[in-house]
Amino acid sequence: MSNDWWKGAVTYQVYPRSFQDSDGDGVGDLKGITARLPYLADLGVDAVWLSPFFRSPMKDMGYDVSDYTDVDPVFGTLADFDALVARAHDLGLRVVIDQVLSHSSDQHPFFAESRANRSGPRADWYIWADPRHDGTPPNNWLSVFGGPAWTWDGRRRQYYLHNFLTEQPDFNYHNPAVQDWALSVLRFWLERGVDGFRFDTVNYFFHDPLLRDNPADYRDKTEPESSPYGMQYHLFDKNRPENLAWLGRIRALLDEYGAASVGEVGESHHAIQMMGDYSAPGRLHQCYSFEMLGRDYSPAVFRDRIEGFFKGAPDGWPMWAFSNHDVPRQASRWAGFGVDTDTLAKQAAALLLSFEGSVCLWQGEELGQTDTELAFEELTDPQGIAFWPAPVGRDNTRTPMVWDSGPQGGFTTGTPWLPVKPQQAARNVAGQAGKAGSVLEFYRAMLAFRRATPALRQGRTQFLDTPAPVLAFQRGEGSGAVLCLFNLSPETVALAFEAPLVPAGPQQNATLADGVLTLGPNAVIFLPLP
C-alpha cells in the first residue's frame, strides 16, 4: 500500500455513538461499526475516521479521555477494535482514529496526581497558575464552552487551565515528559494497525508561558457573537509557535509506520496560513478545514478558499469538508440555495468531491440527511445546553444513522441515546439503495467517478471567470482534464458554450446543445477535455 494514499483520498467520518448499536443499549459501538463496514466499502470511500471511543466519563461525549489506551465499555473492548481494523483492511478500507491529546478528563490518573500537590512527579503535567492578588484568574482567557478558561482547585490553591469544559484540563506541552507520553500513546495504536490519526484541537497544544491577556478581536462584524470566546483574538492561549516543533516529532513517529495524519485547526484568524504551516513538509500530512462549514454557498466563497489555500500554503495539503459532528448538516444549512433537499444534497456531493485536496464526508450526508429538531430536554451536549437556544448544531447533527424503515431506523433494538425522528427516519439507507435518482446512488456514482478520474484526484485547479451563481473550474491540464460546472442556485441559468464536449460522470439538470449550456436549478455537469 502506498504511503501517500491519503493525498486526494475520501474519508468517511463515523461517530461511534450514532452509527450502529449491536447490543440494544441504545448507544452505537465498535461491533456495530464492524458490521456496517461493507456498506462503507460499497459506498466507495478510501478510509473511515472514528471519533473517540476511549475510556471516558462522557462529559463531552468521549472528547474527555480518562484512559488513552483502552476502549470505553460502552463501545466494546480492545479485541473489538482489533477485529474492526482487520475487517476494514480486508475490505480495502484504511482506519483513522481521533486523538484528543491537548487535554484529558479530570478523571485521568495523571490529573489526580497533578492536583494532589505542587511537588509530585506529575505536578507540572497540567497548566497551573497562581491567582491575581484579588483572587481572580491569572488572565482573561475564555473557555470555548463558556466562562473563564480557569478553574480554582482547593488542593493546590491554584487555578488550572481548560480551553473547553472544566472537566477537561489542558496538558502542559512545555514539559518534554508530556510530549514523550503522548508519542507513546500514538505508538500503542500504530502497533494495533491503525493507518493514521485525526488530531483534535491541534492548535491548542501550547500556551503562552507568560500568561499574557488576549486582546479583543480586531475585526468588524455584522452579527454579534453567540459566545464571548469569539470576541477575543487568540494570540496567547493557542496557535503558539512552539506547536510546529511538536508536530515535527509527531511526523517522525508516523513516518516510522507509514501512517498519515490530519489536524483539526480550529481558528478563524489566519486559518489558511496556519493550515499551510501545520501541513508543511515534515509536519502533519494535511489539515482539516473549517472554511466551508459556514452558511455561505456562493461561487466566490468556494473559489476564494481553494485558490487562497494553494496560493497561501503551496507546500501544504487541505482536507475539505462541508459538515461534521460539530456543525449543522449541510442540507439544512444551505437549504435556501436549493430547489429541494435531494437536488441540493446531490449538488453538494458533486461539488465537494470535485475539489482539489482530500475530502471528508460526515455520516448520513450521503442520504441527504437533515438536522434533527430537538427540544431542550432532549439535549445531551454541554455546548448546546450552555448556549441554548443558539443553533450550535451538535446534538442536532449527531442523531443516529438511519438504516431502514423499521423501529429506531435499524440503529438499535433499544431506546437510542438521541431520538430518531420521522423526518430523519424517512431518509434511510434501505429506501435509497439501488433506487435511481436517490442521493445515496448519486454519492456512489460520484465517488466512483472521482476514483476513476485522475484529474479529480490529482489535477491542479484553474477557475473560470463565470458570473454568479455559476461556479466553473478545470481540474488537470491537457487530455484528461475535466471542466466542472455548477449552478449554485434554484434558478435556471444559460451560458454561451461553443466547445463540442461530451458530458461524463454524474450530472444533474444540465444540457449542452446548439452552443448553449443550460444549467437548471442546482445543476451539475462534468465535461472531459479531449
Q: How confident is the model at residue 377 (pLDDT cuts 50, 70, 90)?
A: confident
User: If phi over 0 gives left and psi between -120 and 50 gives alpha, with beta otherwise, what is residue 62?
Assistant: left
β-partners of residue 516 are 496, 513
User: If phi over 0 gives left and psi between -120 and 50 gives alpha, with beta otherwise, what is residue 146?
Assistant: left
- Look-up of cell digits 496560513: 273
> What are the pLDDT digits (tens) for 148-189?
999 999 999 999 999 999 999 999 999 999 999 999 999 999
Q: Are 163 and 169 in contact (CB under 8 A)?
A: no
On the CB side of 62, CA atoms within 13 Å amount to 23
Segment among 180-194, 200-214, 388-402, 427-441 with least mean pLDDT: 388-402
H helix or E strand, kind and range, residue 320 = strand 318-321
> What are the pLDDT digits (tens) for 396-425?
999 999 999 999 999 999 999 999 999 999
Q: How confident is the model at residue 1 (pLDDT cuts 50, 70, 90)?
A: very low
| Neighbour tally for 259: CB within 10 Å | 22
> What is the pTM (predicted TM-score) of this model?
0.95
471: cell is 461556479
H helix or E strand, kind and range, residue 36 = helix 30-43
CA distance linking residue 58 with residue 72, whole number of Å? 10
The mean pLDDT of 230-246, rounded to a whole number, is 96
Q: Are 181 and 109 in contact (CB under 8 A)?
A: no
8: cell is 486526494
Segment among 53-57, 59-63, 392-396 with least mean pLDDT: 392-396
The mean pLDDT of 37-45, rounded to a whole number, is 98
Residue 243 has pLDDT above 90, yes or no: yes
523: cell is 445543476
Query: What distance lies between CA 392 and its chain's CA centroid?
Result: 15
329: cell is 448538516
Nearest to 522 by CA among 368, 356, 329: 368
Residue 386 has pLDDT above 90, yes or no: no
222: cell is 455584522
CA distance linking residue 368 with residue 526, whole number of Å? 21
Length of the chain: 530
Query: What distance lies between CA 386 and its chain's CA centroid?
Result: 22
DSSP 403-462: -SSSGGGGS-SS--SS---HHHHTS-HHHHTT-TT-HHHHHHHHHHHHHH-HHHHH--EE
- Look at residue 336 and give its three-state secondary structure: helix
- Look-up of cell digits 486559518: 271
Output the pLDDT for position 69.
98
CA distance linking residue 175 with residue 471, whole number of Å? 49
Segment among 68-77, 79-88, 311-320, 435-444 with least mean pLDDT: 311-320
β-partners of residue 136 are none
The mean pLDDT of 27-52, rounded to a whole number, is 98
* Packed helices 78-90 and 30-43: angle between N→C axes, nearest 10 degrees: 10
Phi, psi of 8 (to 5 degrees): 85, 5
Segment among 35-39, 366-370, 392-396 with least mean pLDDT: 392-396
Output the pLDDT for position 266.
78
Q: How confident is the model at residue 393 (pLDDT cuts 50, 70, 90)?
A: low
| Neighbour tally for 42: CB within 10 Å | 11
Mean model confidence pLDDT for the chain: 95
Distances from the Cα of 158 to the Cα of 136, 210, 225, 345, angstroms: 11, 16, 31, 51
Catalytic residues: 200, 256
Phi, psi of 198 (to 5 degrees): -105, 120
User: What's the one-letter identity of residue 93?
Assistant: L
Share of the chain above pLDDT 70, in %: 99
The mean pLDDT of 262-267, rounded to a whole number, is 89
Nearest to 387 by CA among 227, 218, 232: 227
H helix or E strand, kind and range, residue 392 = none
Q: Are 468 and 506 in contact (CB under 8 A)?
A: no
Beta strands 150-153 and 158-161: pairing type?
A: antiparallel
